[in-house]
């Protein structure tokens, strides 16, 4: 789908897609901001209990770095144009 018509006007499909993307990103960030701190607290508790490999789940552990990188990649891919 092209962003502009031949006359230079933006189509309603483009506007609908932009609004949907903004709403979905807002919901995604709200969900992320609620769930990740709870998971980090649970990871710190798990690590302090002495579970093997529990240090992967601490606040600065590799699991949360992977989650943050996946979120960043998802946001970037959502704004890049797709191949048709």
Is the pTM higher than 0.85? no
* CA separation for the pair 82, 58 (Å, rounded): 36
Provide the pLDDT for residue 84. 52
pLDDT digits (tens, 9 = 90+) for 26-82: 998 899 899 989 989 999 999 999 999 889 989 888 988 998 899 889 888 877 765
At 13, the pLDDT band (50, 70, 90 cuts) reads confident
At residue 48, the pLDDT reads 93
């Amino acid at each position: 789908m092209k962003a502009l018509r031949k006359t230079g006007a933006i189509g309603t499909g483009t506007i609908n897609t932009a609004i949907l993307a903004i709403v979905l990103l807002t919901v995604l960030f709200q969900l992320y901001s609620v769930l990740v701190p709870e998971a980090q607290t649970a990871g710190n508790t798990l690590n302090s209990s002495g579970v093997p490999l529990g240090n992967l789940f601490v606040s600065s552990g590799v699991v949360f770095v992977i989650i943050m990188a996946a979120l960043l990649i998802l946001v970037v891919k959502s704004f890049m144009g797709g191949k048709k």
